[in-house]
Amino acid sequence: MSPAPPGGPAAAGEPDPPAPSHFDEDTAVRREGDVWKATLHPRWNVGNNPNGGYLLAIAVRAMLADAGRDDPLTVTAHYLSPPGEGEVEIRTEVFKPGRTLVNVSAGVIQGGRERVRVLGVFGDLSERAGPTRVSARPPEVPPPDECVSLLDLTRRAGRQVPEVMNRFDLRLPPDSPWGRPGEGDPFEITGWIRFNDGTEPSALSSVAFADAFPPTLLGALAAGWVPTIELTVHVRGRPSPGWLLGTFRTRVLVDGLLEEDGELWDSEGRPVALSRQLAMVLGPPGA
């Protein structure tokens, strides 16, 4: 699609030019001397703190630039202390330059305090060659227009909508077991997801999609808060335009420590990312 001519009115029947992308704008990084700077926008907040996937995407943008590569292959974030909105500094170190793979470390700092530490391996997914065999299958769910908007569900339940949820269009199958699994079932959430402003998915944004679903345990367990301790995302492909299908599952909750294993599938049914996070159940506030 071509944008409308500058200054001219859009021709009748022609779609509006694409709106600026919130994701692209809000993850922008700029070089200042030895460090990178970025500005955390509150529209990605949960309460007063930015969503972890959004924070990770900012660090990864700076790391990609330093690596001189196009794609994250694996990134691991340790969440240390949640920042607020506003400026952050990103200190990066290329600790292993390489012909194909480049390893980079980053610290995201606000108010003199490190908030997130990230390790990543970067490369070019379009230049990779090697065998392919996928035995995993995308989950079977009805198409997006037969699914239920998580935003609508949350509002109808009279529950507060975290600001970050407005950045995504996330749709659950009508019979989703999320929030009410049976005794022997995994805690699980499966659904379609895309940015709500028409931004198409990318290898970079898959690290944000990997942390965009609500916690698998939410509603099913009297947990006030399930903070992420560590999140690792493996990126296997650049997603095709359109919806992503995501599925997140918790099978081993022990003494309040749990994993969330995620898969993201693109609109052509290809697996584009695998994620795993370590999270911790904290009791309801005041408990």
User: Site residues (CB under 8 A) for a second copy?
Assistant: 73-74, 76, 78, 80-81, 95-96, 101, 103, 105, 107, 114, 117, 119, 121, 125, 128-136, 184-187, 221, 223, 229-230, 232, 234, 236-237, 251-257, 259, 261, 263, 270-271, 274, 276, 278, 280-281
Nearer to a second copy, 13 or 286 (CB): 286
Angle at 203 between CA 93 and CA 161, to 5 degrees: 100
Residue 53: CB minimum distance to a second copy, A: 17
Residue 81: CB minimum distance to a second copy, A: 8
The CA-based diameter of the chain, rounded to the nearest angstrom, is 62
Going by C-alpha positions, the residue among 72, 106, 70 that lies closest to residue 208 is 72
Residue 33: CB minimum distance to a second copy, A: 22
Structure token digits, residue 36? 């990178």
Contact 248, 188 (CB under 8 A): yes
Nearer to a second copy, 13 or 130 (CB): 130
Q: What are phi and psi of 62, to 5 degrees?
A: -65, -40
Nearer to a second copy, 81 or 160 (CB): 81
Residue 286: CB minimum distance to a second copy, A: 17
Chain CA centroid to CA 6, Å: 34
Nearer to a second copy, 26 or 260 (CB): 260
Collapsing DSSP states into helix, strand and coil, what is residue 66? helix
